[in-house]
Structure 1
């Protein structure tokens, strides 16, 4: 499967901005975005801030990204972020549960080796599911996140969910196939 649009060349100042954030290379996603330099520049600034300027712990950030990938069917995003999630401390057990319909359901049924999620991870996953699925986050879910995150982190979490929903929707609509090692966002 190939993407629905051809890749743009990547030449010019906007391509240089994207390459700088990516460590010198462009992804298929970048080359598609470069068909609209203003959109590519805005995307680059937002996703750069979410990935490099956030105070959210890496495990929470990658839980959000991977869960959004599952909820939206964005296999490119999953493939790109699974190794990052592993580096952030996510295990095979975490990754299996992220792919479940309800990854935090029935905590009483946890195996003898303990719960899969820390309380903060469970709260962030519940928030992610609520925000990505229904947009409105119930008060109880919001309150649970507030027990673990400060004001800045709540803003970063909320924008992270929305931002990666945007990434996923672009990837899926453009039918960008999974790759080996390219990072979405």
Structure 2
């Protein structure tokens, strides 16, 4: 497959080399997405500064529900597949949860707790309308802290952006990444 844009070539600038080395497990090449963003050092640095994969107000499972659902809704198979590959065990995802992130009616799947269904509904509403309706807002406020709602909303926005980037560049999936067709 011919790439629309070649990734940056090594050697990378020192801070980029260090960042790329920190992001991946030992022995795993940096993601094609990261290497491609490294073509523009300013964009790469800003992109890396905007990540929310550190310890925040959400559990890994809650975070991954929002990320995976958002990427699935955007058709961002590249990013969805990477997240499933790297985080499914830590998030406690089995086949039912993975499939539900892809399903049109995934927000009501039996595999989710009541709180998790709210995260799925939030991803769906933000994707479909760019807003949160009053009924969902009330349910979110009764369940999550303001800080958690803010983090969930920002995650949805970040992963819309990432989906736009991977889809716009038409990045091929990483060899180890999950694929939509395997789980639909």
TM bracket (short chain): 0.7 to 0.9
1:90 Cα offset (Å):
1.4
| Long gaps (5+) in structure 1 | none
| Long gaps (5+) in structure 2 | 178-184
> What RMSD over aligned residues (CA atoms) do the two structures have, in Å?
2.0
Cα displacement string for residues 56-83 of structure 1 (whole angstroms, at most 9, x for unaligned residues):
1111111111111211111111211113
Q: Does 1:131 align with 2:130?
A: no
Identify the match of residue 41 of structure 2 among 19, 37, 52: 37
Match of 1:18 in 2: 20
Query: What is the TM-score when the length of structure 1 is the normalising length?
Result: 0.84
Match of 2:4 in 1: 4
Give the total of aligned pairs.
173
Query: What is the TM-score when the length of structure 2 is the normalising length?
Result: 0.85
Q: Does 1:177 align with 2:172?
A: yes
Identify the match of residue 28 of structure 1 among 17, 32, 50: 32
Question: What is the 5 A alignment of 1:1-185?
Answer: 1-10=1-10, 11-12=12-13, 13-23=15-25, 25-47=29-51, 50-83=52-85, 84-105=87-108, 115-181=110-176
Q: Runs (4+) of structure 1 moved beyond 4 Å?
A: none
Equivalents in 2 of 1:15, 1:38: separation in Å? 14
